[in-house]
Amino acid sequence: MSTAPSNNRLNRQQAESFLSSLSGHYYPNSSREFLSGTNDIQVPFRRIHLSETLHQPTPGVKLPPNEPVDVYDTSSVYGDPDATIDVKAGLKKVRENWIQQRHRESQQNNHGITQLAYARRGIVTPEMEFIALRENMGREHLENPITPEFVRDEVASGRAIIPVNTHHPESEPMIIGRNFLVKVNANIGNSSVSSSIEEEVEKLVWATRWGADTVMDLSTGRNIHQTREWILRNSPVPIGTVPIYQALERVNGIAEDLNWPVFKDVLLEQAEQGVDYFTIHAGVLHDFIKLTAKRVTGIVSRGGSIMAKWCMAHQQESFLYQHFRDICKICAKYDISLSLGDGLRPGSIADANDEAQFAELRVLGELTQIAWEYDVQVMIEGPGHVPMHKIQENMDEQLKHCHGAPFYTLGPLTTDIAPGYDHITSGIGAAMIGAFGCAMLCYVTPKEHLGLPNKEDVKQGMIAYKIAAHAADLAKGHPGAQARDDAMSKARFEFRWEDQFNLALDPVTARSYHDETLPQDSNKTA
């Protein structure tokens, strides 16, 4: 323990150095561009510039240029070479005006302020317009482009959510729904006693650099409030949390001592800070716990086991289930989305698709309809560990019981025999369930089941999941998703190596692998 202070200083210095080095392009041959909507809507994206085709079929006849490829970008100012970053000041509040206007309207007309409330009333919010531009990436000329009205209709029907707390005006709107690009969530967390704002922001920036669409902050420890504040004020992506973790800290880690007033306090605290979605394990009912008795791996969800312990100790129905309408009222006030947790998800291939899992799923469907009564947006969390032939059933059951609410799954891992490579075992399952209609994939890093991920693990997990999400987008036929593949394939056929590197999900690695065996520049053009 004697080395801890100097380690802390070193970590902080490294994070500061990382943040100060952010100015300048990270992705080669790319520029930061904006799609402009009505009023002040500005959607940032990355444009990858390509070189000319070298081999001219007819001498003197110039081929048309290779058009740049525009890509969805979650890095916000952290990927903008012209931006200056001040983590103590936080990000610009891009949604502030829109939120204020909705608050005024809501007070005048006594209606809800959530995106779902607006969508149901037939109103396209600036967030919806932003999202339509962002999902299309300027490819409105394609068949079936995403229109603002389509976004509104998907939100109104509950098939998609826009997780944006009114107290998180820094976030850039994004949408989670099966008729949009498949999204990826990265978990970050800090269980150490001491950290710094620079270290927490570094984790966030790192995850979004590799494409995280949302980030869940699973931090614990006594600085949990401060850590979350640092993250939220500097996050351009929606932030999710599992409030029961903080509630458990309030009662010194003793699950039996949890109760509704403690939990409600935590919800209000996090709501005020600007958390965009809450994972709530309200479907772990007292009667379902016995269904897990014969499992190989029992209850593996942390939230699920906390609630199971509480129910058993009190021989009562879960207070989350009992107070679900109270939870919805809080969410409605801030436009916080609910991510209904799967506390009984399977923790192994052996336990996949069992009655415990599906019993909880049916309750999550009931809770979805209750949340919708309050105009609260809802998504449903899913497993976990599922062999390939049982993945479709997961998606089918979710659609059947949860009334079309978006599905948000961890993996699923398709086998249990490869710890150290669970980004791959689960990337397979994630791609499949994404293609079947799962709206957001929670990433898994190579350290899953083994330890805490470091920066390299976060990167490896994110890349595996961006591959899975993109493979699913292709399979679903999302408008324009194939443009980047086609540009890469053409560059490959024409031996334009620089363009191949620049178009890659990870340009630096692609280039270094090529240079290992063919280092000369001449090998990059022919």
Query: Binding residues for a second copy, per CB under 8 A?
Result: 296-298, 347-351, 385, 387-389, 414-421, 423-425, 427-428, 431-432, 435, 446-447, 449-452, 454, 463-464, 466-468, 470-472, 474-477, 482, 484-486, 488-490, 492-493, 500-501, 503-506, 509-510, 513-514, 516-518
Nearer residue to a second copy within complex by CB, 231 or 472: 472
The two structure tokens encoding residue 203 = 């984790």
- Hey, what amino acid is at 385? H
CA distance 91 to 19: 14
Smallest separation (angstroms) from a second copy to the CB of 227: 19
Closer to a second copy at the Cβ: 112 or 427?
Answer: 427
User: Least Å distance between CB 51 and a second copy?
Assistant: 17
Please tell me the number of Cα atoms within 13 Å of 244 on its side-chain side: 27
Q: How far is the CB of 225 from a second copy (least distance, A)?
A: 25
End-to-end CA distance of the chain: 56
SS3 161: strand
Tell me the DSSP string of 211-249.
T-SEEEE---STTHHHHHHHHHHT-SS-EEE-HHHHHHH
**Minimum distance of a second copy from residue 415's CB (angstroms):** 5
Minimum distance of a second copy from residue 371's CB (angstroms): 32
* Nearest residue (CB) to a second copy, 11 versus 348: 348
Which CB atom, from 18 or from 421, has the smaller least distance to a second copy?
Answer: 421
Give the nearest distance from C-beta 453 to a second copy in angstroms.
9
Q: In terms of CB distance, is 226 or 415 closer to a second copy? A: 415
**Positive/negative CA dihedral, 129, 135, 140, 146:** negative
Task: Give the tokens for residue 221.
Answer: 């420890």
Which is nearer to a second copy, 111 or 390 (by Cβ)?
A: 390
User: DSSP letters along 290-333, please?
Assistant: GGGTT-SS----HHHHHHHHHHHHHTS--HHHHTHHHHHHHHHH
Least distance between a second copy and beta carbon 510 (Å) = 4
91 within 8 A of 233, measured Cβ to Cβ: yes
Token digits for 300? 């593996």
66/259 with CB nearer a second copy: 66
- Residue of 99, 321, 86 lying closest to 201 (CA atoms): 86
* Residue with Cβ nearer a second copy (104 or 449): 449
Q: Give the shortest CB-387-to-a second copy separation in angstroms.
A: 4
Tokens (6 digits) for 490 = 């053409």
- Cα three-residue angle 511-513-515, rounded to 5 degrees: 70
- Contacts with 23 (C-beta within 8 Å, 6 or more apart), sequence order: 81, 83, 84, 85
* Helix intervals (H) in 81-147: 96-109, 115-120, 126-136
From the CB of 178, what's the least distance to a second copy, in Å?
14
